[in-house]
Structure formats: structure tokens, C-alpha cells
Structure 1
Amino acid sequence: MSTTLFDAPGPKAAARIRIATIISSAAIVAFFAYAIYLFGSNGQLAAHKWDTFTQWPIIRYLLKGLGNTLLAAAGSALIALPLGVLLALMRLSKTRWIRWVGTGIIEFFRSIPLLLLIYIFFIALPKYQINPDLYWKLVIPIGLCSGATIAEVFRAGILALPKGQTEAAEAIGLTRLQTMRYVIFPQAIRLVMPSLLAQVAILIKDTTLGYAVSYSELQYSAKVIVSNTGDLIQTYLVVTVVFVLVNLAITRTADVWSRQQQRRYLSGYRPTSSFNRVGQTPEA
């Protein structure tokens, strides 16, 4: 199966990837096994250490933090997706100054550290009477940085399409805008959708920087619980498991989408021939 951003590995490369995967997986399992051994030998796995997370107020507080995390990720996605499409089209524009502006914006937000941008919204901008709500102080910086990355994903998807698609659209009289809207963009969306869903997982992880502006997302909620209970290892292990499950769900969605699109493509492919059988005359 072809990919958008890289070529499929050959037999030797695939074998090396499998060997590296086995070795790295074994190393990871050994690391976690040793970590569990250390936790157990120091009494961190004792049942009473986990009683905190059987209490409904604590569970409710963590669920509220998870809800705020997903809300921040959703708001960031609503900014990043249209911004990414706009910047990708600007960078692909035939007008030089539009292409330069789009490229400059993309490279700027891809280069600047996200935490620094959050601090700019949280500390610097309020001095100039630009003081949005706490939610937007987190969501806007994440959306801007992620939008620059998504722009490159969209651009890669558009450039991955055969040039014949554009030439065929122009041959039937479609304008450049119509070609992009009706021919190129729908196909590019299908190609880059798994990458876009993977970017959503990155958005969720980026929301953990909300602690810098005291936004009560999941990691900040864990910090508050630790300050009140002292159960640092247990709390952050629980939060880690929650993040892993959420990201696994997103990754699973991306995999299902990719397989469905591949099956749809293969089922829609029907080799055509003007002959029923070899040696017969063409069909009427």
C-alpha cells in the first residue's frame, strides 16, 4: 500500500524494521518489568496506596480534567484545520508574494517553541490590552503551531496526487479554484486523513502544557491531587494510562479509516476490457 509522506520499504528494509521492532519492544518490556519490580520492592504497589482512586470525588475530578483536555484539543483542532488548509493553499499558490507569506508563516510557527508562544499569550500580550480567557490563551497557541504542521500535511497530500489529475481537470475547462475544490482537495483529504488523526493525538498531548497557565486539564488536575495526597507515582501512573488509552483510541480510528479507504479503493477498481474472453469479438 502506497503512502503519502514516504515510500513503502522494500523486503530488506522491512526485515530490518521487524528486527529493530522486536529488539526495541523487548527493551521496553524489560524496562517496564524492572520499573514494576522497583515499585513493588519500595511498597508503591501496596493496595492502600491506590485507595485514593476508588473515591468518587477523585474520579470525578480527574474526569473533569480529561473533559477540559478534550475540550482544549477540540478548540485547537477547530483553529488548526482551517488554518492548515489556508496555509497549504498559500504555499502552493502561483502568486509569488502569497507563496512567500504562506511559507514564512508556516516556518515561523513550526520553529517557535509552543511553550514560549503560550507564555507570550499569557504574560506579554495582556500588557498590551490583549487578554483573552484562560482557555484561549492555551488553545490559540496550540492551534497556530499545529496549523503550521497540518499545512505541510495537506501540501504533501496535494503534491502526492498525479499531475494528470490537474491536467485532466484543466482539459475539461475547470478553473484552478474549481480543480482544487472538486478534484484535488477531496482526494488529498482521503490520503492525509490518517496523518490528520495522528495530529489530533499530538494536540491532546500538547494540552498538557496547560499547567503553565493553570488551565485545569488532566495533568494539572493530577498535580493538584498530588499536592493534596502525596501519592505522586500512583497519580501520574493513572494519568499516563488515561493518556495512553485516549491516544490508542485515536490511533485505532486512524488505522480503521486507512483500511476502509484501501478496501473502498480496491473494490472500486474494475479492470475493463473490450473482450469477454481471449479470442472473442469486442462487446457491442
Structure 2
Amino acid sequence: MTETPAPHPPRDHPRDRIRAAFAEAGVTGWLHAEDIDSGAWLDVGADQPVVTASVHKLCLLVALHQRAEAGELDLTEQTECPREGRTAGPTGLSAMLDPARLSLRDAAYLMMAVSDNTAAELLLARVGLDAVNDTTRRLGLTRTHAAHSFGAFVASIREDAGPGGPRALADPRVIARLRALDPARTNRSTPRDMTRLLGAIWRDEACAPEHGAAVRRLLGLQVWPHRLASGFPFDDVHVAGKTGSAPTLRNEVGVVEYPDRGRYAVAVFTRAASPAAALPAADAVIGTTARIAVDALRAGAAARSEP
């Protein structure tokens, strides 16, 4: 008996469109999108190990709120940020010049809204790297691991770049030796793990409702509109997310919420062929591919609801 070959998906299948969009933007990309309520999903390489970069600040934020929920710390607790020893970065405390004093929850705002590396280091010093990994492990994120602090991540890039400094990062040979771009040697996850984390946050499974609402609020205050949010330019669609960046890497994970109460967790990780720091197409493709995936999930839900 001759077996009938499995049918090929049509050429306009959402996965093919996502892959084509990545290729056109000059990046390799991995994506997972999931309907938070139905569990329907769509992916392109969802289990590929990826470098999280600042996306891992979301894991730290959840660990912070879990410790607050357990009574191990108070979010209004004050922390000191001296002038010296700050982690490099272009935003927030990292870019400020004078000593500062602020609460843990305000440091968390800076960490999430503008991806402040120094604020993240202050919080990590209070929470601990082991606690972050304990949080992801207990949430079932088996392929997510924090290998080091955000300061160590930045320091490794500087060390590996060598005496050429930031200019050396335009050299593909230098890019190839960066430990920070190897998931086996730095903070890592997978797109599927990240949407699982987002789903747990939105369903109040990661923290008690009070703390889950606080985490969702901070994700909604992120100021960057050029990646995930660019795919959903509608006043009545809300996008909450966290970006992550490193040489050739542009990432974002987040949740897209529609006025009909549809809500979708999306994780997109990309690596560009070009080492250029400014690649608008590589930023925009995160929103483009997320929109393709979410539209497909919404169309599938509509089809399933038809009589």
C-alpha cells in the first residue's frame, strides 16, 4: 500500500511569512506566540536557546515580587546608589552622575521602563542570583537560566571587545568571540519559556494578584515603541513588554491585549547578520512577525467559534 505524502502547508502559511520577514530584515529569528487563555500557539524555532540580555530583567522582577509576597523584603525599602561603581548603560541611574536614594519598587520601574542596568544591579544585589533561578525553576522554565549579573554581562562584552573598545564591535571577527552572544555562556532562555512566564504573570500564577498587577503595570510602562509595539499601532490595543539588546541581538517579549479581551504572549529573539548598531528593519521585524503570529491565532480562534 502506498502512503499518501503529508500535505505541505500553503505558501502563505504564517510560519512561512514570519520566516520571510526575518530574512528580508537581514536577521535570523525565533518566535513563540500563545493565546494566554486558550493555549493555542504558533512558533518558529520556539525551543532554540537564545541570549536573553535585558529580557532577563523580567525574571528578576518576578523574583523580586515573589520575595515581597513571602515577606522577605518590603518594596518600599530604600536602597542607596553611590556615584561610583555603576553598571554601564545609556539610561536611568546608569547615565546619572550623582548619588541617589530610592525604593526597591522605583528601582524596578527604572529597570523595566528604560532598561536601567544600574537599577537592575541594585535589585539583584537585594534578591540574589540564586533566587532568580529558583523563581524560573519553580515556574517550570526548564531552559531558562541566569548565569551572571547584568553588570557581568556588560563587562564580558567590554573584555572580549579588547583594546578597540566599542568601535571594535563593528568587526565581525570581534562579534564572533563575544561570550555574551553564546547562550551556553550567558543568561539564556527560549521563546517558549518566555511566553510561559508571561502567561503565568497574566493569569496570576507567578505571583499573588496584587503583585501580578504590579508586574503587569511595569511592563506596560516600557518606553520603547520601535519593536513589539510597532506591529500594533492601534489606540485600543495595549502592548506591554521588555526588550533586550546586545551586539547583533534585538529581542522583545510581551503581551498584546485586544478590546475583545483576547490576550497573546509573544517572544521574539533575533540576531542580525550586520554588526551595525542602528538597523531599523531589524527592530521593526519584531513587531511585524508578532503581528503575523497574533493575527493567525485570532483567525484560528474565530474559525473555531463559527457554528
**After TM superposition, is the score higher than 0.5?**
no
Structure showing greater radius of gyration is 1
Q: Which one has the bigger helix percentage?
A: 1
- The alignment's TM-score, normalised by the length of structure 1, stands at 0.29
Question: Which gives a bigger RCO, structure 1 or 2 (Cα 8 Å, sep 6+)?
Answer: 2
- The alignment's TM-score, normalised by the length of structure 2, stands at 0.27
Q: Which one has the bigger strand percentage?
A: 2
